[in-house]
């Protein structure tokens, strides 16, 4: 039997093949500690696509694209997650039309030339066994704005007087569109109300972007219907005061996002996720108790919305909140948005729900899944701090999962079969690396 460093097949360069794929829990026959897997490390299969575990990478805007084209920054950023065992990687908000970008440096998928750099990223992710998708988006009234570090620095030594990116800065402040002519704030562009024809054109733009996703090879698509961007703006009475078929009643306010979802479902046969904001976090009740009028967006309407999305064949709801009301007041703490995911899961137990929001500890994340509050967790900032979070979680939860071949020696305690009464520290000391064991055997007088 030949002993070789196996390459990934059917690619144009040597990349070491990981068997099993990175982030997969090993068989209990090899690792007895895996007899009862934590929920985080149980595979999840949606529409024929199997995710190795339930730890998903949230879309993270990088504000680093070149006229909507991904760059080497994205290759390194996403490639790093592809080598570290996350169950799914969702690339950042990617605009379906140029004026749908948040900033001039946002990602896009409105033209064929934007496919090539994404194909390179997806091909590398697949070489590592990772599942990768993209978040299709339109920023609505929050478009043509600065990247965060352009608006202000974290040290608070300076701050721009506005969020608006002007024409001389690559922006398009006169061509910002929303359901209604309502600014997010006086520091944001004043939007133009979309015509019904423009709404139809935007629906088609989402479908065209999905067609490009097929050629690129993405494993799933997520639609951004949260955080005060266009689809969220249509759903909320705070940002949608239209009097036509797209405004007024809840049915009308849901019409545009549901139209997009229906057409995407018809065009895309792989998993389809929708990210929603479960509430606007605005003052007062969601519904006027006296008149029954909806006053703001909240969990009651979100529950109805998810029911409609489920009917259309959506495979997972990524449950976030906020972003549509500039005066929102949120009490932030560990898992502060998980109650919304839990409410949706309780109302719709037959559709997978993803939870987000200051999920930092493996035991914390595991508890949400074990208690039935969600089916997966989406992490962002914690993964910025610790890209190896999935393997770290395995270590904390006592499960053996596959790291990348090149990183295995850093996780020796994760990769040693448990024996009764033995600590992981002791196992790590004994294991070392395969090369070290080989050298010890060669030099041993026995």
Which residues are annotated as catalytic? 229
The values of phi and psi at residue 395, to 5°, are: -60, -45
Q: How many CB atoms lie within 10 A of CB 12?
A: 6
Give the 3-state secondary structure of 96-134.
Answer: CCHHHCCCCCCEECCCHHHHHHHHHHHHHHHHCCCCEEE
Closest by CA to 324, choosing from 250, 205, 224, is 224
Contact of 339 with 298, CB cutoff 8 Å: no
The two structure tokens encoding residue 382: 């914690």
Closest by CA to 23, choosing from 129, 132, 133, 134, is 129
In this structure, what DSSP letter does residue 243 have? -
> How far, in Å, are 259, 428, 440 from residue 444 at the CA level?
71, 21, 6
> How far, in Å, are 160, 248, 332 from residue 245 at the CA level?
39, 8, 36
Q: How many Å apart are CA 310 and CA 312, to the nearest integer? A: 5
The two structure tokens encoding residue 184: 């997010």
What contacts 229, CB < 8 A, 6 or more positions away?
A: 93, 102, 137, 138, 139, 140, 142, 323
User: Which residues share a beta bridge with 376?
Assistant: 354
Q: How many Å apart are CA 168 and CA 61, to the nearest integer? A: 22
Residue pointed to by tokens 């144009």 = 12
Residue pointed to by tokens 């997009």 = 260
What Rg, from alpha-carbon coordinates, does the chain have? Answer: 23
Contact of 75 with 120, CB cutoff 8 Å: yes
Q: How many Å apart are CA 390 and CA 359, to the nearest integer? A: 13
């Amino acid at each position: 039997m030949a002993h070789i460093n196996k390459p990934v097949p059917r690619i144009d360069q040597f990349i070491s093949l990981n068997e099993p794929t990175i982030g997969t829990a090993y068989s209990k026959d090899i690792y007895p500690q895996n007899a009862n897997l934590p929920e985080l490390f149980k595979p999840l299969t949606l529409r024929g696509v199997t995710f190795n575990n339930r730890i998903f990478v949230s879309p993270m805007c990088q504000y680093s694209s070149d006229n909507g084209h991904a760059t080497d920054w994205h290759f390194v950023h996403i490639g790093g997650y592809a080598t570290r065992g996350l169950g799914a990687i969702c690339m950042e908000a990617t605009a379906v039309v140029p004026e749908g970008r948040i900033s001039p440096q946002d990602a896009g998928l409105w033209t064929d030339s934007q496919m090539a750099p994404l194909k390179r990223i997806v091909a590398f992710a697949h070489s590592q066994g990772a599942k990768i998708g993209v978040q299709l988006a339109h920023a609505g009234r929050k478009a043509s704005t600065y990247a965060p570090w352009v608006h202000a620095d974290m040290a608070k030594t300076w701050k721009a007087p506005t969020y608006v990116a002007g024409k001389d800065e690559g922006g398009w402040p006169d061509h910002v569109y929303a359901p209604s002519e309502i600014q997010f704030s006086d520091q944001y562009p004043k939007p133009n109300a979309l015509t019904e024809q423009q709404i139809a054109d935007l629906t088609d733009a989402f479908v065209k972007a999905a067609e490009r996703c097929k050629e690129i090879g993405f494993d799933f698509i997520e639609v951004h219907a949260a955080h005060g961007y266009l689809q969220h703006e249509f759903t909320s009475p705070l940002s949608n005061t239209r009097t036509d078929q797209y405004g007024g009643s809840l049915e009308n306010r849901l019409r545009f996002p549901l139209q997009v979802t229906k057409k995407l479902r018809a065009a895309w046969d792989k998993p389809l996720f929708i990210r929603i904001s479960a509430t606007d976090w605005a003052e007062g009740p969601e519904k006027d108790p006296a008149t029954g009028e909806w006053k703001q967006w909240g969990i009651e309407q979100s529950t109805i919305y998810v029911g409609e999305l489920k009917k259309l064949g959506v495979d997972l709801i990524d449950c976030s909140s906020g972003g549509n009301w500039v005066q929102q007041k949120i009490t932030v703490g560990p898992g502060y948005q998980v109650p919304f995911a839990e409410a949706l899961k309780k109302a719709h137990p037959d559709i997978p729900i993803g939870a987000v929001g200051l999920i930092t500890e493996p035991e914390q994340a595991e508890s949400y899944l074990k208690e039935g509050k969600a089916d997966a967790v989406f992490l962002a900032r914690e993964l910025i701090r610790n890209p190896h979070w999935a393997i770290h979680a395995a270590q904390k939860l006592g499960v053996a999962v596959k790291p990348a071949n090149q990183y295995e020696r850093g996780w020796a305690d994760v990769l040693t079969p448990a024996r009764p009464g033995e600590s992981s520290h002791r196992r790590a000391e004994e294991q070392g690396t395969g090369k070290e064991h080989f050298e010890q055997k060669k030099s041993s007088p026995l």
